[in-house]
């Protein structure tokens, strides 16, 4: 069960511990912070960034990068508003069209970068501009208020206190992790990210997997855009500006390597939580917007520096766990499962 290997569990726990520490820190600095309201606010704020970061994790695992996620989210979010307001399309049909839009943008990224062998950095930088421009075009550069028609997705369900968007996000995070660690597709991604040349010589064609990853990242960006528009209740062509950097930060805080070959969707989710908690907590203790950015920036770098020692610690703990397990196994022979 690679999802629940001791090493992985230890890594998840380490990330969770950092998040809890952050919460306790803000709790001690501001007595209002430790309340269920804070957590509900967090839960309803993170879905867009979190689903985009799931896609970003997969892209970074193959050693690529997708700078267009924020713009694609902006384009899809804007498109949603236009479809609902101007075309009077039913909400769910509009959502499907938006997701197709995201998928198309991502597929274009993948096709151009993989088939023409252009670094994904360049291709997605181009898409960043193209998608943002299209977002302005479809909205005539105006923010359009939509209201109730789209907000349902982001409004807390009475009995849970969290929104459907949050539940979808949690589900997609778990599915993303399972895809990465338990499917052939995920194995190919890790292999390609570790050493694409060797993977090719092992008889695997890396092209379809690579294109699929960019397509998925586009699709998830589209969903992120839908979440954003739903939360704001309006279609804003500026939405999602700079989101690619927050997503990369969340993924990297979660220990995914920018060099490819190593990554965890669950830890990315913790990365998103840490960024969102930092944002909310700093606001609560009255930090100014500039101060927030300085601190967030420092935390991102510190997290990556700490990551190296966290990895070592996890390896050591997992080894000692294996020793215990081996000793137990010598007493009782292992069953074949």
How far is it between the farthest Cα atoms of the chain? Answer: 73
Q: Is 238 exposed, middle or buried (0-12, 13-18, 19+ CB in 10 A)?
A: middle
Question: Which of 185, 287, 295, 299 is the binder for other proteins (CB under 8 A)?
Answer: 185
Is 115 one of the binding residues for other proteins (CB under 8 A)? no
Distances from the Cα of 36 to the Cαs of 32, 52, 151, in angstroms?
10, 26, 22
Q: Are 156 and 162 in contact (CB under 8 A)?
A: yes
In the bound complex, what is the minimum distance in angstroms from residue 107's beta carbon to other proteins?
Answer: 20
Instruction: Tell me the three state secondary structure of residue 11.
Output: helix
Does 200 participate in binding other proteins (rule CB under 8 A)?
yes
| Binding of other proteins by 321 (CB under 8 A) | no
Q: What is the DSSP letter of 335?
A: P
Which residues on neighbouring strands pair with residue 148, listed in sequence order? none
Q: Does residue 145 sit in helix, strand or coil?
A: strand
Among 30, 143, 195, 296, binds other proteins (CB under 8 A): 195
Nearer to other proteins, 136 or 185 (CB): 185
197 binds other proteins (CB under 8 A): yes
Interface with other proteins includes 10 (CB under 8 A)?
no
CB of 155 to other proteins, least distance (A): 36
Work out how close the CB of 4 gets to other proteins at its nearest, in angstroms, rounded to a whole number. 10
CA separation (Å) from 98 to 105, 153, 224, 241, 314?
11, 15, 10, 18, 41
Q: Residues 143, 284, 311, 322: which binds other proteins (CB under 8 A)?
A: 322
Kindly identify the residues of this chain, within the stretch 54-83, that bind other proteins according to CB under 8 A. Answer: none
Nearer to other proteins, 75 or 212 (CB): 212
What Cα–Cα distance (Å) separates residue 264 from each residue in 56, 190, 306?
11, 11, 16
Q: In the stretch 223-262, what mask flags binding to other proteins with x, by CB under 8 A?
A: --------------------------------------xx
Q: Report the residue number, 242 or 336, with the smaller CB distance to other proteins.
A: 336
Q: Answer yes or no whether residue 317 interacts with other proteins by CB under 8 A.
A: no
CB nearer to other proteins: pick between 191 and 273: 191
Residue 238 in tokens: 């500026």
Nearer to other proteins, 295 or 318 (CB): 318
Residue with Cβ nearer other proteins (1 or 331): 1
Q: Does 194 bind other proteins (CB under 8 A)?
A: yes
DSSP secondary structure, 27-87, as one string: HHH-TTTSSHHHHHHHHHHSHHHHHHHHHHHHHHHTT---TTHHHHHHHHHHHHHHHHHTS
- Residues near other proteins (CB under 8 A) are 1-2, 182-188, 190-191, 194-195, 197-205, 261-262, 322, 336-337
């Amino acid at each position: 069960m690679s999802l629940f290997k001791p090493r992985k569990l230890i890594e998840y726990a380490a990330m969770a511990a950092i998040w809890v520490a952050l919460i306790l820190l803000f709790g001690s600095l501001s007595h209002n912070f430790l309340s269920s309201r804070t957590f509900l606010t967090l839960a309803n704020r993170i879905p867009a960034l979190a689903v985009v970061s799931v896609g970003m994790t997969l892209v970074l695992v193959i050693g690529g990068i997708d700078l267009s996620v924020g713009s694609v989210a902006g384009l899809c979010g804007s498109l949603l508003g236009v479809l609902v307001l101007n075309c009077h399309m039913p909400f769910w049909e509009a959502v499907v069209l938006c997701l197709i839009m995201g998928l198309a943008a991502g597929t274009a990224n993948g096709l151009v970068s993989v088939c023409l062998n252009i670094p994904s950095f360049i291709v997605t930088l181009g898409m960043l501009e193209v998608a943002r421009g299209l977002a302005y075009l479809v909205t005539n550069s105006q923010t359009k208020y939509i209201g109730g028609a789209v907000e349902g997705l982001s409004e807390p369900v009475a009995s849970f206190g969290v929104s459907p968007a949050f539940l979808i996000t949690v589900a997609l995070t778990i599915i993303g992790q399972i895809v990465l660690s338990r499917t052939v597709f995920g194995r190919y991604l890790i292999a390609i990210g570790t050493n694409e040349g060797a993977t090719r010589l092992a008889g695997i064609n890396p092209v379809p997997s690579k294109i699929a990853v960019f397509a998925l990242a586009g699709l998830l960006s589209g969903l992120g855009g839908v979440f954003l528009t739903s939360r704001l209740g309006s279609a804003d062509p500026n939405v999602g500006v700079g989101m690619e950097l927050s997503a990369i930060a969340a993924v990297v805080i979660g220990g995914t390597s920018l060099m490819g070959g190593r990554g965890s969707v669950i830890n990315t989710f913790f990365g998103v939580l840490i960024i969102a908690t930092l944002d909310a907590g700093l606001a609560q203790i009255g930090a100014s917007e500039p101060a927030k950015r300085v601190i967030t920036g420092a935390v991102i770098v510190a997290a990556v520096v700490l990551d190296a020692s966290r990895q070592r610690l996890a390896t050591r703990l997992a080894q000692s766990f294996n020793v215990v397990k081996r000793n137990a196994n010598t007493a009782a022979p292992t069953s074949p499962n």
